[in-house]
A and B are shown apart, each in its own frame.
Chain A
Amino acid sequence: MELILEGVRKACALIASFDPEVLGITLLSLKISGLATLISLFVGVSGGTAVALIKFPGKKLVISLINTGMGLPPVVVGLFVTVLIWRNGPFGFLEILYTPAAMVIAQAIIATPIVTGISLAAIQQLPENLRLQIMSLGATRLQMVWIMIKEARLPLLAAVMAGFGGVISEVGASIMVGGNIKGYSRVLTTATVMETSRGNFDMAIALGIILLLLAFCVNLLLTRIQQGQIPR
Chain B
Amino acid sequence: MNTDYLIKLEKFMLRRGKTMVLDVASMGIAAGRMLALIGPNGAGKTSLLLTLAGLLKHQSGALLFRGRPVESGADRMLLRRSTSVVFQESLLLNCSVYDNVALGLQLRGKSGEAVRTGVAQALQYFGISSLSRRPARTLSGGEAKRVSLARAFALKPQLILLDEPFNFLDPPTRETIIQDLQAILDETKITAVMALHDREETLRLAQDVAVLSEGKIIQFGTTAGVFNQPHNEFVAGFVGTESILPGIVRACTAGNLLITVAGESLEAVGDFVPGEKVYCCLRPESVTVAGEVAGKMSARNVFPAKVRKISRHGYFYKLLLDCGFPLISYITQTSIEELQLKEGAAVYASFKATALHIIRRE
A interface, CB within 8 angstroms of B: 127, 129-130, 132-133, 135-140, 143, 147, 150-151, 153-154, 229, 231-232
Please determine whether B91 and A129 come into contact, CB atoms closer than 8 angstroms: yes
B84 at the interface (CB under 8 A from A): yes
Distance in Å: Cβ of A198 to nearest Cβ of chain B: 51
Please determine whether A137 and B94 come into contact, CB atoms closer than 8 angstroms: no
Pick the residue among A130, A138, A153 that contacts B91 (CB under 8 A).
A130
Residues of chain B contacted by A129 (CB below 8 angstroms): 87, 89, 91
Segment at the interface with A among B100-108, B170-178, B252-260: B100-108
Please determine whether B137 and A231 come into contact, CB atoms closer than 8 angstroms: yes
Residues of chain A contacted by B91 (CB below 8 angstroms): 127, 129-130, 133
The number of chain B residues touching the other chain, given as a range, is 20 to 34
Give 11 CB contacts A-B under 8 Å. Answer: A127-B91, A132-B87, A136-B80, A136-B83, A137-B155, A140-B77, A151-B93, A151-B94, A154-B94, A229-B94, A231-B94
3 A-B pairs with least C-beta separation: A231-B135, A137-B104, A136-B85
Q: CA A153 – CA B137 in complex, angstroms?
A: 15
B interface, CB within 8 angstroms of A: 50, 53, 55, 77, 80-81, 83-85, 87, 89, 91, 93-94, 103-104, 107-108, 135-138, 151, 155
Residues of chain B contacted by A151 (CB below 8 angstroms): 93-94
Distance in Å: Cβ of B88 to nearest Cβ of chain A: 8
Please determine whether A135 and B55 come into contact, CB atoms closer than 8 angstroms: yes
Distance in Å: Cβ of A149 to nearest Cβ of chain B: 12
Distance in Å: Cβ of A145 to nearest Cβ of chain B: 13
Please determine whether B138 and A132 come into contact, CB atoms closer than 8 angstroms: no
Q: CA A48 – CA B155 in complex, angstroms?
A: 32
In the complex, the chain B residue whose C-beta lies closest to that of A147 is: B93
Residues of chain B contacted by A127 (CB below 8 angstroms): 89, 91
Residues of chain B contacted by A153 (CB below 8 angstroms): 94
Q: CA A39 – CA B27 in complex, angstroms?
A: 52
Distance in Å: Cβ of A31 to nearest Cβ of chain B: 33
In the complex, the chain A residue whose C-beta lies closest to that of B139 is: A231
**What number of A-B contacts does a CB cutoff of 8 Å give?**
52
The prevalent SS among residues of A at the interface is helix
Residues of chain B contacted by A229 (CB below 8 angstroms): 94
Residues of chain B contacted by A132 (CB below 8 angstroms): 50, 55, 85, 87
Distance in Å: Cβ of B265 to nearest Cβ of chain A: 53
Please determine whether A135 and B94 come into contact, CB atoms closer than 8 angstroms: no
Q: CA A127 – CA B55 in complex, angstroms?
A: 17
Pick the residue among B53, B89, B94 that contacts A136 (CB under 8 A).
B53
Q: CA A232 – CA B50 in complex, angstroms?
A: 34
Pick the residue among B94, B104, B137 that contacts A138 (CB under 8 A).
B104
Please determine whether A139 and B85 come into contact, CB atoms closer than 8 angstroms: no
Q: CA A139 – CA B87 in complex, angstroms?
A: 16
Given the known inter-chain contacts A130-B91, A151-B93, please indicate yes or no for A137 contacting B55, CB distance below 8 A: no
Q: CA A36 – CA B158 in complex, angstroms?
A: 49
Residues of chain A contacted by B89 (CB below 8 angstroms): 127, 129
Pick the residue among A135, A138, A154 that contacts B155 (CB under 8 A).
A138
Q: CA A90 – CA B89 in complex, angstroms?
A: 53
In the complex, the chain B residue whose C-beta lies closest to that of A231 is: B135
Please determine whether B94 and A133 come into contact, CB atoms closer than 8 angstroms: no
Please determine whether B85 and A232 come into contact, CB atoms closer than 8 angstroms: no
Q: CA A132 – CA B53 in complex, angstroms?
A: 10
Q: CA A72 – CA B181 in complex, angstroms?
A: 55
Q: CA A147 – CA B95 in complex, angstroms?
A: 11
Q: CA A139 – CA B136 in complex, angstroms?
A: 20
Please determine whether B80 and A138 come into contact, CB atoms closer than 8 angstroms: yes
Residues of chain B contacted by A154 (CB below 8 angstroms): 94
Most chain-A Cβ atoms within 10 A of its Cβ — which of B55, B107, B135?
A: B107
Q: CA A198 – CA B89 in complex, angstroms?
A: 63
Distance in Å: Cβ of B84 to nearest Cβ of chain A: 7
Q: CA A130 – CA B135 in complex, angstroms?
A: 18
Q: Given known contacts A138-B77, A231-B135, what 7 new A-B pairs fall within 8 Å (CB)?
A: A130-B91, A135-B55, A136-B83, A136-B85, A138-B81, A147-B103, A231-B138
Residues of chain A contacted by B55 (CB below 8 angstroms): 132, 135-136
Q: CA A229 – CA B84 in complex, angstroms?
A: 28
Residues of chain B contacted by A138 (CB below 8 angstroms): 77, 80-81, 104, 107-108, 155
Residues of chain B contacted by A143 (CB below 8 angstroms): 107
Residues of chain A contacted by B108 (CB below 8 angstroms): 138
